[in-house]
Amino acid sequence: MSPDMSPDAALDERTTAPPRAALPPFQPPLADLGPAFFSDIALHPLPQPHWVGISQAAAQWAGLPEGWADAPEALEVFTGNRAHAGSVPRASVYSGHQFGVWAGQLGDGRACLLGEWLRPTDEQRIEVQLKGSGPTPYSRMGDGRAVLRSSIREFLCSEAMHALGIPTTRALCVTGSPAPVRREEIETAAVVTRLSPSFLRFGHLEHFSANGQTDELRKLADHVIDRFYPEARSPQAGVDEADKAHPPPTNAYAALLRLVSLRTADLLAQWQAVGFCHGVMNTDNMSLLGLTIDYGPFQFMDGFDPAHICNHSDHQGRYAFARQPQIAYWNLYALGQALLPLIDSQEAAVAALSVYEQAFPKALQARMRAKLGLTKAADGDRALMDDAMRLLAAHRIDHTLFWRRLASAVEGDTEPVRDLMPDRAAFDAWFERHLAALAGQDLLATAAQMRRVNPKYVLRNHLGEQAIAAARQGDMSEVARLLQVLQHPFDEQPEHAALADLPPAWAADIAISCSS
């Protein structure tokens, strides 16, 4: 009640105002697996929590009721300060290869699975996980916390990737606290609430295989198949009969490996097409569902450089942009090794993996053909694509701006894209070939189609840094504005056009590491 409101008026307000929505109850996570796969954990509250960012789009996807964030318990539940109805907080155990080296047991060192929601529209299970909520049995001497800067980056990028149409975990919200966290310097704590049908990774299967726990390996693989890949039980279903080189496996676990390989191939093609660098493609950061997961040191490239390394801790360049597709295959090979006790045949495992080698280039070429506006395949497409990337690499041309402005060039306005080119003659010669490849197409319709696949807005590093700087001063409005823009990446949004400009010079000095 406000100070100048009468008791009767206050009563009228209480009786006429709509009731605040309650959060739906949780179901225990991973309940059909058992204690070998996780540890029940305690919550570790943070003082003075506050909202940093909220994604209503993610909430709608998860089936939350309107007004959920106004529920009295919401801020506390999504900071990890109190348990909600039905929640059994858990951390899962996994192992993995990190930078190509076997690291042994890892696990959810700062992640807490609160539980599952059943989405009302289709009863799909949605796992709800906090990242940065405190130590677990798998924290490996760490504090289990995350800091504000990395939490804002993950929150924004999760939702930006979804809006781009790239498979990803979602981010419901991020909360902050003045609690200090020591990294390279003292920072403040934050917690991201992540949503996904599953957070299971290659490393979960690697863990039980490496420890000789074949029964547990089988139980986990069956869980993945039954929930997410039921077609693996009937591997003939949905297989292209023309694909004589890769006949479907008869073993369900080989079929699982094949299906994960296909999803991973498509994911990597989408990353490469949009210029996204993951930064830490360890096997414990690879989703069994083919989702983008674990946003640590990531980057949408500004100037295109195939050798670009977005993680300054990656001293050998293992996860450089151009190496990502091969690293994904290496990780799939490690997954195949983990599943080998269930497949019982190395030949069957190799055959299941081999689909990646054909599926990835096919998926990438389809993406690149769409970026160029080509409606049908032709013999010269591959050379046209490769030469476009050579043009970009020769002078580190801005990746996002080039593809977006190319649509205007197709319409007849070539100057915006030519302005990006130090060597205009080389571009003009290439563009003449591009127009020849588009002969017979409606160029206005083609340009419109190109704008539907070439985003105007991506989460550039400097945009994230600006939102983080404002949030550190207590101003969360830039996080909200950037989220709104990134949720509509293909729209013109002229009022936000400055967010699509070339990055400032200082952006080249931004260093992103695994420290978060």
Residue 475 lies in a domain: no
Are residues 44 and 32 part of one domain? yes
What is the number of alpha carbons within 13 Å of residue 444 lying toward its C-beta?
A: 0
Are residues 365 and 385 part of one domain? no
d(CA 101, CA 283): 10
pLDDT at 292: 98
Q: Answer for the pair 251, 348: CB distance below 8 angstroms, yes or no.
A: yes
Are residues 243 and 343 part of one domain? yes
pLDDT at 462: 96
Are residues 186 and 42 part of one domain? yes
Give the tokens for residue 255. 């079929």
The tally of domains found in the chain comes to 3
Q: What is the pTM of this model?
A: 0.93
pLDDT at 201: 98
State the amino acid at position 240 in one-letter form: D
Q: Quick check: is 413 catalytic?
A: no
Length of the chain: 516
d(CA 431, CA 426): 9
Task: Give the H/E segment covering residue 45.
Answer: none
Indicate the residue among 420, 451, 482 that finishes a domain. Answer: 451
- What residue numbers bound the domain in which 297 lies? 203-370
Residue 355 lies in a domain: yes
User: Which one of 108, 266, 284, 302 is the catalytic residue?
Assistant: 284
Q: What are phi and psi for residue 40, nearest 5 degrees?
A: -70, 140
Q: Number of helices (H) and strands (E), helices first, in the chain?
A: 16, 12
Cβ-based neighbour number of residue 196 at 10 Å: 20
Are residues 294 and 150 part of one domain? no
Are residues 173 and 89 part of one domain? yes
Are residues 403 and 364 part of one domain? no
Task: Give the H/E segment covering residue 109.
Answer: none
CA end-to-end span of the chain, whole Å? Answer: 41
Residue 105 lies in a domain: yes
Indicate the residue among 370, 404, 426 that finishes a domain. Answer: 370
> Bridge partners of 146?
190
Give the tokens for residue 8. 């009767």
pLDDT at 19: 54
Q: Answer for the pair 17, 194: CB distance below 8 angstroms, yes or no.
A: no
Q: Answer for the pair 167, 290: CB distance below 8 angstroms, yes or no.
A: yes
Are residues 423 and 363 part of one domain? no
Indicate the residue among 344, 370, 396 that finishes a domain. Answer: 370
Per-residue pLDDT of the chain (516 residues; tens, 9 = 90+): 333 444 444 334 444 445 567 899 999 999 999 999 999 999 999 999 999 999 999 999 999 999 999 998 999 999 999 999 999 999 999 999 999 999 999 999 999 999 999 998 888 999 999 999 999 999 988 899 999 999 999 999 999 999 999 999 999 999 999 999 998 889 999 999 999 999 999 999 999 999 999 999 999 999 999 999 999 998 664 455 445 556 667 899 999 999 999 999 999 999 999 999 999 999 999 999 999 999 989 999 999 999 999 998 888 999 999 999 999 999 999 999 999 999 989 999 999 999 999 999 999 999 999 999 999 999 999 999 999 999 999 999 999 999 999 999 999 999 999 999 999 999 999 999 999 999 999 999 999 999 999 999 999 999 999 999 999 999 999 999 999 999 999 999 999 999 999 999 888 878 787 655
Are residues 186 and 61 part of one domain? yes
Residue 471 lies in a domain: no
Cβ-based neighbour number of residue 383 at 10 Å: 10
Rounded alpha-carbon distances, angstroms, from residue 26 to 32, 190, 394, 456, 476:
15, 22, 53, 38, 29
Of 231, 267, 288, 263, the C-alpha closest to 94 is: 288
Are residues 340 and 419 part of one domain? no
> Bridge partners of 131?
111, 192
Q: What is the dihedral of CA 99, 100, 103, 105, to 10 degrees?
A: 100
> Which residues contact residue 442 at a Cβ distance below 8 angstroms, ignoring those fewer than 6 apart?
none
Are residues 165 and 296 part of one domain? no
d(CA 331, CA 200): 15
Are residues 210 and 86 part of one domain? no
Of 199, 246, 244, 191, the C-alpha closest to 224 is: 199
pLDDT at 239: 56
282: left (phi over 0), alpha (psi -120 to 50) or beta: beta
